[in-house]
Amino acid sequence: MQVSIDEIRSGHKPAIARAITLVENERRQIWPLLKELFATSELASLVGVTGPPGCGKSTLVEKLVAGWLEEGERIGVIAIDPSSEFSGGALLGDRIRMDGISSEPEVFIRSMATRGYLGGLNPAIFDTVLILSAAGYDRIVIETVGVGQNEIDIVNLADTTLVVTMPEVGDEIQAFKAGLMEAGDIFVLNKADHPRVNRMELVLQQMLELNSSGEEQEFPRLLKTIATRGEGVDEVLEAVGDHRLKLEKSGDIARHRKQVMRRHILHLLEEKVREQLIDPLLQSEDFKQILDQVVKRKADPYSTAEDLLARLKSADQQREEVNLSHEN
């Protein structure tokens, strides 16, 4: 499978799709292309959308994308699907649900599974963002289904984070929403035609006040929508624009992007360490014997890990000795 940098730059959709497939499955092969794209592409605006299942995230994303399209933007959507490591692929639910925008020539939608990447999900998302940026998409929406680690990771990547919720969610959903309270820039209370919307709004306001510094602030902002009818969507679009301006005016965007880059380098290094140092060690005959000893409790996993690390590190010491002898 070959992908040319020119095809990506010209926005050729099948080439973009092939490149992302390489990001997912053939990371070694795609690195040279990613290096070239990085050197010559400005990263797009990144908007993260997260929240509990069933709150209407996909519908809201569809309406937001329609709004940005009207403003002449080209939009990429990365939908992070929970997926089985057993069955492999993503579940495609979001791709199907976003039918209303998926046929638009100025929109590129891609579902990505949460599992099965050598280096984890994060570097694969960043690489996809880079490809879509190089292909000329002005704004990239990263939507996650579910709660927990992945959501926080995506919050860390996005410039602006929308936390979507709805009235009358169960206790557990309340709980994990709390976990996202400090992360959201814009809170969207969807399904605002629900009879208990006022109660939920009050709860959200209290939680936001609890996390605030006490001073009057522009963000986080709390907005109500009925995404299915498009109500309140314009206000969300405006808030995303305002937040972007605020990031640029304050210089926070530069600090944020630096953190994103730092983490990406770390993730890439971990990926390479795994591939070139750790995996060969674990695939050795030697390790199979050690594992048998651990299973029989004649060795323990902690000492075993220390021994394996020592093998990686002993090289360092040897090297220092060589350096010393050179100095002599």
- Considering only residues 1, 148, 212, 284, which one is a binding residue for a copy of itself as defined by CB under 8 A? 148
Residues 18-57 binding a copy of itself (CB under 8 A) are: 31, 34-35, 38-39, 52-54
Residues 233-252 binding a copy of itself (CB under 8 A) are: none
Rounded least distance, CB 63 to a copy of itself, Å: 17
Characterize the bridge pairing of strands 160-165 and 186-189: parallel
Number of residues assigned to the chain: 328
Q: Which is nearer to a copy of itself, 63 or 68 (CB)?
A: 63
- Considering only residues 60, 77, 147, 162, which one is a binding residue for a copy of itself as defined by CB under 8 A? 147
Query: What 3-state DSSP class applies to 108?
Result: strand
Rounded least distance, CB 30 to a copy of itself, Å: 9
Q: Which is nearer to a copy of itself, 15 or 180 (CB)?
A: 180
* Segment interacting with a copy of itself, rule: CB under 8 A, options 12-20, 195-203, 236-244, 293-301: 293-301
- Considering only residues 5, 17, 66, 91, which one is a binding residue for a copy of itself as defined by CB under 8 A? 91
Rounded least distance, CB 231 to a copy of itself, Å: 20
Q: Smallest Cα–Cα separation from 227: which of 176, 180, 252, 193?
A: 193
Residues 104-123 binding a copy of itself (CB under 8 A) are: 114-115, 121
Alpha helices in the chain (DSSP H): 5-9, 13-25, 27-40, 57-70, 93-97, 99-102, 121-134, 149-157, 171-180, 197-211, 233-250, 252-273, 279-282, 285-295, 301-327
Token pair 């639910």 is found at 93
Q: Which is nearer to a copy of itself, 228 or 235 (CB)?
A: 228
Determine, following the binding rule CB under 8 A, whether residue 180 of this chain makes contact with a copy of itself. yes
Query: What 3-state DSSP class applies to 135?
Result: coil
Characterize the bridge pairing of strands 139-144 and 45-50: parallel
* Three-state SS annotation for 26-37: CHHHHHHHHHHH
How many residues line the site for a copy of itself (CB under 8 A)?
Answer: 83
Residues 304-323 binding a copy of itself (CB under 8 A) are: 304-306, 308-309, 312-316, 318-319, 321-322
Q: Smallest Cα–Cα separation from 37: which of 19, 21, 18, 14?
A: 19
Determine, following the binding rule CB under 8 A, whether residue 183 of this chain makes contact with a copy of itself. yes
Token pair 């000329």 is found at 136
Determine, following the binding rule CB under 8 A, whether residue 85 of this chain makes contact with a copy of itself. yes
Rounded least distance, CB 71 to a copy of itself, Å: 27
